[in-house]
């Protein structure tokens, strides 16, 4: 009798589950979805010897600094202390000399500026020799705005590169919690150049462009650089995208698949490309590195429940009083 009742209870549960309709609707994978994804390349840890030598040769090249508005220069006219002293280059690019008057020095090297001053003083003095030294490089500035620790004006003695600016502005390694360096803009006059920092920070030094005075570097807010990990993972939610993040990186940051997750039916959805890639975790652990694809901003990783867990979950949702009633009925017919 107990067996009959248990059988009836099992049938009742099955009917209840079937009446509930589909527990969850998991979309089918998109045909050839893998073509929309690429594998993160982390093999380039160091540069080749030729590239390293070329880099060393490049660092030996020192360009002459060009004087500009706002720079403080020290003019020394040998034997003429009354003509020597500090001068600040005005907004018109000129300095003022005794007797000689206004002299244009904007965009001149120190040597060329000294020669220009000599020529200006020569009509009034014999055997003039002048040297020019830069005391403060006030014109060699870059403006940094956006999500960095220290936005504002940065001064450099020599023309900086992009990574120099990011380091000085606190862009890396000290990031604000809401900021992830994935891209930035360099604004030069009427032109805007967007730089992919993901590639720059993973070894593409060609993107480490040299900057000019008065360039503006803009670090946008990174609230749009998010990846969503949903379903049967230990810590579902939003995670911040990092350079060269892979599928396993994102899954690991979400705590991995729970015991109720269907490890054979993981889904990586890329709304921007309208694709849904189905991944079997056992194949990924084989390993098949072509499955550990790179993650882009806006991607969704979804881990559905496996069938046994669905049934177990639905049984847990049955009214506990009806469950107790069934148990009591089984006890009543027991011999």
Cα(137)–Cα(266) distance, integer angstroms: 57
- Among residues 179, 176, 137, 169, the alpha carbon closest in space to that of 155 is found at 137
CATH of 25-44+224-304, one of 3.40.50.300, 3.30.230.10, 3.10.560.10, 3.30.1300.10: 3.10.560.10
CATH number assigned to the domain covering 72-136: 3.30.1950.10
Q: Answer whether residue 154 shows pLDDT above 80.
A: yes
- Among residues 177, 151, 157, the alpha carbon closest in space to that of 166 is found at 151
User: What integer pLDDT is reported at residue 211 of this predicted model?
Assistant: 82
- Among residues 221, 204, 188, the alpha carbon closest in space to that of 196 is found at 204
pLDDT tens digits for range 248-267: 999 999 999 999 899 898 99
Higher per-residue confidence, 139 vs 224: 139
Q: Answer whether residue 245 shows pLDDT above 70.
A: yes
The pLDDT of 109-113, averaged and rounded, is 93
Higher per-residue confidence, 276 vs 157: 276
The pLDDT of 89-110, averaged and rounded, is 91
User: What integer pLDDT is reported at residue 73 of this predicted model?
Assistant: 94
The answer to whether the peptide bond before residue 287 is cis (omega within 30 degrees of 0) is: yes
pLDDT tens digits for range 302-333: 999 887 555 555 555 555 554 444 445 445 54
Cα(171)–Cα(200) distance, integer angstroms: 14
Residue-averaged pLDDT of the chain: 76
User: Can you spell out the DSSP letters for 120-187?
Assistant: HHTTT-SS--EEEEEEE-TT-EEEEEESSSS-EEEE-SS--BHHHHHHHTT-SSS--TT---SEEEEE
pLDDT tens digits for range 19-77: 444 455 666 777 777 777 776 654 444 344 454 354 445 445 556 788 889 999 999 99
Class of residue 36 by CB neighbours under 10 A (exposed 0-12, middle 13-18, buried 19+): middle
According to DSSP, the β-strands at 216-219 and 275-279 are: unpaired
Cα(10)–Cα(229) distance, integer angstroms: 35
Question: Residue 121's Cα: distance from chain center in Å?
Answer: 55
- Cβ atoms within 10 A of the Cβ of 231, count? 21
- As given in the structure block, the two tokens for residue 107 are 């965009």
The pLDDT of 82-86, averaged and rounded, is 90
Contact call for residues 222 and 237 (beta carbons, < 8 A): no
User: What integer pLDDT is reported at residue 88 of this predicted model?
Assistant: 94
Contact call for residues 295 and 252 (beta carbons, < 8 A): no
* Whole-Å CA distances, 269 to 52, 190, 228, 277, 331: 40, 38, 10, 6, 50
User: What integer pLDDT is reported at residue 195 of this predicted model?
Assistant: 80
- Among residues 225, 223, 241, 227, the alpha carbon closest in space to that of 300 is found at 227
According to DSSP, the β-strands at 226-231 and 152-155 are: unpaired
Cα(222)–Cα(181) distance, integer angstroms: 8
Higher per-residue confidence, 154 vs 13: 154
Torsion, Cα 167 173 177 178, to 10 degrees, reads 50
User: What integer pLDDT is reported at residue 12 of this predicted model?
Assistant: 52
Higher per-residue confidence, 200 vs 48: 200
pTM, two decimals, is 0.50
Higher per-residue confidence, 145 vs 289: 145
Among 10-19, 178-187, 233-242, top mean pLDDT goes to 233-242
User: What integer pLDDT is reported at residue 114 of this predicted model?
Assistant: 94
Higher per-residue confidence, 271 vs 12: 271
Q: Answer whether residue 158 shows pLDDT above 80.
A: no
- Cβ atoms within 10 A of the Cβ of 134, count? 18
**pLDDT band for position 189 (cuts 50, 70, 90):** confident
User: Would you say domain 141-219 falls under CATH 3.10.560.10?
Assistant: yes
User: What integer pLDDT is reported at residue 56 of this predicted model?
Assistant: 44
Cα(149)–Cα(49) distance, integer angstroms: 35
**pLDDT band for position 127 (cuts 50, 70, 90):** confident
Higher per-residue confidence, 82 vs 58: 82
Contact call for residues 6 and 330 (beta carbons, < 8 A): yes
62 DSSP β-pair partners? none
């Amino acid at each position: 009798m107990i067996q009959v009742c248990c059988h009836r209870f099992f049938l009742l549960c099955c009917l209840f589950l079937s009446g509930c309709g589909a527990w969850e609707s998991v979309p089918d994978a998109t045909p050839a979805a893998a073509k929309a994804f690429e594998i993160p390349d982390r093999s380039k840890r160091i540069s080749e010897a030729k590239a390293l030598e070329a880099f060393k040769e490049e660092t030996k090249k020192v360009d002459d600094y060009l004087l500009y508005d706002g720079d403080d220069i020290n003019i020394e006219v040998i034997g003429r202390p009354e003509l020597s002293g500090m001068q600040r280059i005005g907004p018109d690019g000129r300095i003022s000399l005794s007797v000689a008057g206004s002299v244009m020095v904007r965009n001149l090297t120190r040597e060329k500026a000294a020669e220009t001053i000599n020529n200006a003083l020569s009509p009034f003095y014999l055997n003039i020799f002048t040297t020019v030294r830069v005391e403060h490089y006030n014109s060699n500035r870059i403006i940094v705005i956006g999500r960095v620790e220290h936005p504002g004006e940065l001064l450099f003695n020599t023309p900086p590169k992009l990574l120099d600016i990011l380091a000085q502005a606190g862009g890396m390694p000290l990031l604000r919690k809401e900021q992830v360096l994935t891209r930035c803009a360099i604004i030069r006059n009427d032109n805007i150049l967007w730089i992919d920092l993901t590639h720059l920070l993973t070894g593409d030094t060609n993107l480490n462009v040299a900057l000019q005075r008065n360039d503006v570097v803009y670090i946008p807010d990174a609230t749009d650089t998010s990846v969503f990990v949903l379903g049967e993972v230990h810590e579902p939610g939003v995670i911040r995208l990092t350079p060269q993040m892979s599928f396993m990186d994102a899954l690991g940051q979400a705590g991995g698949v729970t015991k109720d997750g269907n490890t054979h039916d993981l889904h990586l959805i890329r709304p921007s490309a309208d694709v849904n890639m189905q991944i079997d975790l056992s194949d990924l652990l084989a390993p098949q590195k072509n499955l550990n694809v790179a993650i882009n901003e806006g991607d969704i990783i979804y881990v559905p429940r496996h069938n046994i867990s669905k049934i177990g979950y639905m049984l847990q949702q049955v009214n506990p009083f009806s469950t107790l009633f069934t148990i009591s009925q089984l006890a009543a017919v027991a011999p």
